[in-house]
């Protein structure tokens, strides 16, 4: 299939693009690079072609008359630089490419930042999704895999969390995801031709085993593991652990961590499922167990052989004590289960981090 991947140069998007290409699909990658880097294209091509990174294409690809960048991977990957809220651009993309399905990653995604900048999050995450859905309707493309989040469960009443758990987001980021989920449910109720998967993932970490692509946020990382990696590499002084008084085994927050390649494989399986089935599918994608902040930190120190300095500071608004997934439905419906353990997640992250300038 020819698949539009919004936010495809981002962390999860880039690894999913790789899995799609390896599966033989053609990918149209749309990104505005607000929290990603063009250099990810070099890493993708190096992995796909098995060529050294310095033989990969230039950082900014030339643009043809259809507005799409030539990445050096031929029809396998086409780059479109732009914003998912640009209805005119989306119309051009659907007109120029025979898009058959969409995987929608494009969104702002930092919980703490969303509390400080709620309007930006609703504008980007909610408005962007609405513009995309309208463009899909106009183009007659009605297959969508949506990047949702475990934040839609709010402060869970029990763990592990199943898909039928109560939904109640505790921050603007989670609210934006929950609102889009509701819109997608309404769309499917109104038109049975839509095929939609809402994938609620927990905490993706790790990198491709080659070390050529990984999580590389702009500025100071807002997520735990890339921050730990930069401290271990000597690029940041110390980690701030938000909250040491949670009712958990060591007082720090417990989260479900899943390797980004496992997550990318989950998106491919969801797309394959939608190709054969109609309707609305809602699934958790996670590792299926919880690790505390300190457990992740100690594991990273072990695999990197580097100390990670830290200090405990007050809790962040909107954070919850414990959150991990029941992934039984994904196993039953998609045949998907996370395969990579915490040590592998940390080791792959460290391999990626060591290759960063």
Other CB atoms within a 10 A radius of the CB of residue 12 amount to 21
DSSP-derived 3-state class of residue 51: coil
What is the CB-side half-sphere exposure of residue 108 using CA atoms within 13 A?
Answer: 26
Catalytic residue among 11, 153, 173, 291: 173
122 is catalytic: no
- Comparing C-alpha atoms, which of 291, 297, 322, 300 is closest to residue 310? 297
Peptide bond into 273 cis (omega under 30): no
Sign of CA dihedral 88, 93, 99, 105: negative
How far is 295 from 292, CA to CA, in rounded Å?
A: 5
User: Under 8 Å CB-to-CB from 151, ≥6 apart: which residues?
Assistant: 111, 169, 170, 171, 173, 174, 177
How far is 149 from 137, CA to CA, in rounded Å?
A: 24
Catalytic residues: 173
């Amino acid at each position: 299939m020819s698949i539009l991947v919004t936010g495809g140069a981002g962390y999860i998007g880039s690894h999913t693009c790789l899995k799609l290409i390896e599966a033989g699909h053609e990918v149209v990658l749309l990104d505005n690079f607000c929290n990603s880097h063009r250099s990810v294209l070099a890493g993708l091509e190096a992995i796909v072609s098995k060529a050294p990174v310095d033989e990969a294409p230039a950082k900014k690809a030339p643009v043809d008359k259809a507005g799409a960048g030539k990445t050096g991977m031929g029809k396998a990957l086409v780059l479109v630089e732009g914003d998912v809220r640009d209805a005119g651009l989306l119309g051009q993309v659907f007109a120029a490419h025979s898009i058959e399905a969409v995987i929608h990653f494009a969104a702002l995604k930092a919980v703490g930042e969303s509390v400080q900048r709620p309007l930006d999050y609703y504008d980007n995450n909610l408005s962007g999704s609405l513009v995309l859905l309208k463009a899909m309707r106009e183009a007659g493309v009605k297959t969508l895999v949506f990047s949702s989040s475990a934040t839609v469960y709010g402060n869970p009443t029990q763990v592990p969390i199943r898909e039928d758990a109560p939904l109640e987001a505790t921050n603007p980021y989670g609210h934006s995801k929950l609102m889009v989920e509701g819109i997608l449910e309404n769309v499917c109720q109104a038109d049975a031709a839509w095929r939609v998967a809402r994938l609620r993932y927990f905490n993706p970490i790790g990198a491709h085993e080659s070390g050529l692509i990984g999580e590389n946020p702009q500025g100071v990382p807002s997520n735990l593991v890339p921050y730990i990696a930069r401290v271990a590499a000597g690029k940041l002084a110390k980690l701030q652990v938000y909250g040491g008084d949670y009712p958990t085994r060591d007082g720090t927050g417990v989260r479900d961590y899943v390797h980004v390649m496992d997550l990318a494989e989950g998106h491919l399986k969801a797309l394959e499922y939608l190709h054969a089935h109609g309707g609305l599918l809602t699934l958790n994608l996670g590792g299926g167990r919880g690790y505390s902040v300190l457990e992740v930190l100690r594991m990273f120190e072990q695999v990197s052989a580097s100390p990670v300095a830290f200090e405990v500071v007050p809790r962040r608004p909107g954070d919850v004590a414990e959150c991990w997934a029941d992934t039984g439905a994904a196993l039953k419906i998609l045949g998907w289960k996370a395969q990579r353990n915490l040590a592998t997640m940390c080791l792959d992250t460290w391999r990626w981090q060591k290759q960063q300038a």
